[in-house]
Amino acid sequence: MNTFKTNNTRLLELLAAWEPRLLALSEEVITTPRNGQNRNIKQILGHMVDSASNNTHRIIHLQYQVSPLIYPDYANLGNNDRWIAIQNYQDENWNNLVHLWKFTNLHIAHVISHVNPDKLDNVWLSALGEEVSLYNMITGYLGHFELHLQEIEDLINRK
């Protein structure tokens, strides 16, 4: 879908640029420094996998279910930390995690490129009661992705 071509192009550029950088990081760098949420790089990347997966599901549901969509909200109310802990990203094989991150994001870009434009005004109702349109969910995903890459960059530079 041309509406999101710029977003998808940027997402694919970031994946291509960051994959080799991530794979080159030492075990110490990916596990030791922690951000303000007490997450290390492995946990941030795991959260990004969760975000891609959950947003893919929301994007799909928003195209065929009744709007407003009430769908589980993993990110609010502290649940994203539960997801990180339950999946134990801390002990995930780093190469596998980087590739999972890459491929879940390649898939969300594919899904976004095939969104039905007639459904862009459909809304998801978050756990906080906020209405998020399909359009805003898709355009906001890139900003969320870049925010977490900046967190990773900050941790890399915190030597």
User: Which residues are CB-contacts of 35 (< 8 A; sequence separation ≥ 6)?
Assistant: 44, 151, 154, 155
What does the pLDDT read at residue 33?
Answer: 79
Q: Which pLDDT does position 144 carry in this prediction?
A: 96
Domain boundaries, the chain: 2-156
Mean pLDDT of the chain: 93
1 pLDDT tier (thresholds 50, 70, 90): low
Does the pTM surpass 0.75? The reply is yes
Tell me the DSSP string of 75-121.
Answer: SGGGHHHHHHHHHTGGGS-HHHHHHHHHHHHHHHHHHHTT--GGGTT
Residue range 3-54, pLDDT digits in tens = 899 999 999 999 999 999 999 999 999 999 788 888 999 999 999 999 999 9
2-156 folds as Four Helix Bundle (Hemerythrin (Met), subunit A) (1.20.120)
| pLDDT higher than 70, residue 159 | no
| pLDDT tens per residue across span 85-141 | 899 999 999 999 999 999 999 999 999 999 999 999 999 998 888 999 999 999 999
